[in-house]
């Protein structure tokens, strides 16, 4: 699995509330495991609700069901945040957290530059490929590159369905719960 790839949840995954209508950014992929963050699942609280010393409201996102009590972040400002780990296409994750807090509190970064997640999505060796083969996920490139956070809004999954075209177009306008149709 290539780092920087987007995983778009197939409509068939609708029974799994963790991943229903999710778009996941793969940030690390090794032979034995794959790690990513769900980009489009905002939580009902902000960064300052879970972290002391934060002056400005930054939306928190549900990154996935693994380690949901841990805070992670993806950003596009490696020159400002030391020890950032490259993903691909100008995106990075992690880095010096005290610098991140300083950048947030001085408004040197905004939500187009950095996204905060509680938890992550993780797969053991071969697990993700089995899910892809079982039509739970569609692999897509990241057309927005380092500007990804700017474009990931509430309807991002729907936009990905439209971009995939074909049989996915029907799903782009389907209600959240198909039984309501």
Residues 44 and 59 sit within 8 Å (Cβ to Cβ) = no
Q: State residue 31's pLDDT score.
A: 87
* Burial class of 74 by CB neighbour count within 10 A (0 to 12, 13 to 18, 19+): buried
128 belongs to a structural domain: yes
Backbone phi and psi for residue 142, each to the nearest 5 degrees, phi listed first: -95, 100
What pLDDT was estimated at residue 51? 93
pLDDT at 14: 57
Confidence (pLDDT) at 74: 98
- Residue 1 lies inside a defined structural domain of this protein: no
pTM equals 0.93
- Whether 130 is covered by a domain: the verdict is yes
Look at the chain and report how many structural domains it folds into.
1
Give residue 116's pLDDT: 98
Is 135 inside any structural domain? Answer: yes
For residue 88, the model assigns a pLDDT of 96
pLDDT at 17: 84
Give the structural domain span for 26. Answer: 6-180
Identify the segments of the chain with pLDDT beneath 70: 13-15, 175, 177-181
- DSSP-assigned letters across all residues of 62-93: E--SEEEEEEEEEES-TTTSTTPEEEETTEEE
Taking all residues of the chain, what is their mean pLDDT, rounded to a whole number?
92
Decide if 144 is inside a domain.
yes
Written as one string, the DSSP assignment of 124-146 is ETTHHHHHHHTTSEEEE--TTGG
Q: Is 114 a member of any domain?
A: yes
Cβ–Cβ < 8 Å for 134, 170: no
CATH number at residue 29: 3.40.1740.10
pLDDT at 170: 83
Q: Which sign, positive or negative, has the C-alpha torsion 168, 140, 72, 107?
A: negative
């Amino acid at each position: 699995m290539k780092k920087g790839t987007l995983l778009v949840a197939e409509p068939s995954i609708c029974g799994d509330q963790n991943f229903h209508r999710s778009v996941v950014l793969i940030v690390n992929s090794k032979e034995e495991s794959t790690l990513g963050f769900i980009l489009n699942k905002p939580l009902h609280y902000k960064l300052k609700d879970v972290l002391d010393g934060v002056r400005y409201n930054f939306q928190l996102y549900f990154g996935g069901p693994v380690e949901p009590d841990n805070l992670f972040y993806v950003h596009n400002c490696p020159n400002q945040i030391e020890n950032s780990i490259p993903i691909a296409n100008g995106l990075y994750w992690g880095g010096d957290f005290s610098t991140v807090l300083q950048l947030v509190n001085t408004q040197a970064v905004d939500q187009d530059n950095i996204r905060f997640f509680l938890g992550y999505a993780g797969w053991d060796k071969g697990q993700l490929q089995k899910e892809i083969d079982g039509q739970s996920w569609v692999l897509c490139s990241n057309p927005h590159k380092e500007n990804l956070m700017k474009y990931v809004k509430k309807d991002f999954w729907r936009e990905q369905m439209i971009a995939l075209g074909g049989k996915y177009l029907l799903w782009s306008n389907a209600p959240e719960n198909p039984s309501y149709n």
